[in-house]
Amino acid sequence: MKMPDGQTIVFDLDGTLTNPRKGIVRSINFALGGLGQKPLPEAALTRFIGPPLKEIFSELLCTGDEDTLTKAIHLFRQRYFDVGYRENRLYDGIPSLLSTLKGDGNPLYIATTKREDIARKVAGHFGIAGYFNGIFGCDLDTPKAEILWTIMKLNSAKKSPAFMIGDRGSDMAAGAEAGLRLIGVRWGFGAPSELLPAEVVVNTPTELLNYLRHSRQN
C-alpha cells in the first residue's frame, strides 16, 4: 500500500524546539545595561521570549525611536551571538521527534523571528540542523507569515496538509495567515489563551508525534 505524502511540518524555534530562557533573559539585560537601564528579574522578562526584538525593546524602553531600538538590538545580538545561544537547551524528546518525523518522509522546517544566521547557529550547536529541509528567520521587518508562504511555495506540489507548530500567539497568527493547520505546544512560554486558535494543543513531543502520524493516515 502506498504511504500518504509526507506532511510539511514547520516548527517555531524558541519555546518549541529549545528553551532559550537563560540566554535571552541575560542578553536582554545586557542590552538594557548598555543603555543605562537597570536589569530586570527573569520572571519579568519571560513573557518576552518569542516576539520580535524590536517589539520587545519598544515595550521595555517605552520608545519607538529607531536609533535607540537599533542600538538595543545590536547589544542583544552581540551577547546572544557570542554566548547566549549556548545557554539554550533542547527540550527533552525533541531529537527523537525530529528523527522519527524525518524518517517518515516529512519535509521539516524552522520558521523563527530570530535572524536566520543565529537560528542556524542554534540548530547547528544542538546537532539538529540536518533534520531540516530549510531554516528561515524573519530578521527585523519580515512578517513570520511571509517566510511561511515561502516554505509553502517550496512544497506547492504536495497535496498533504501543512502544519505550523509553536508556543506563542504570534506562531498561531502567522500560521493561520499562511493557511497552515495549527498545533500549539504547552511546554513553551505562551499563555493558554494564545493557543486557542490551534486545532490541538499537545503536552509532550510524544503526543505531538502521535497526532501528526494519526493526521497523516487520515
Q: Which residues are catalytic?
A: 12
Name which of 108, 114, 78 is nearest 94 in CA terms. 108
3-state secondary structure of 33: helix
3-state secondary structure of 217: helix
Tell me the β-bridge partners of 14. Answer: 18
Residue 186's alpha-carbon distances to 143, 195, 207, in angstroms, are 24, 9, 11
The sheet that has 200-202: what strands, in order across it?
134-137, 108-112, 8-11, 162-166, 181-185, 200-202
Which runs of consecutive H residues, i.e. helices, occur in 83-155? Answer: 94-103, 116-125, 144-154
CA 198 to chain centre: 16
Rounded-to-10 torsion of CA 13, 185, 43, 138: 30
Which runs of consecutive H residues, i.e. helices, occur in 35-168? Answer: 42-45, 53-60, 66-82, 94-103, 116-125, 144-154
Do 163 and 107 contact (CB within 8 A), yes or no?
Answer: no
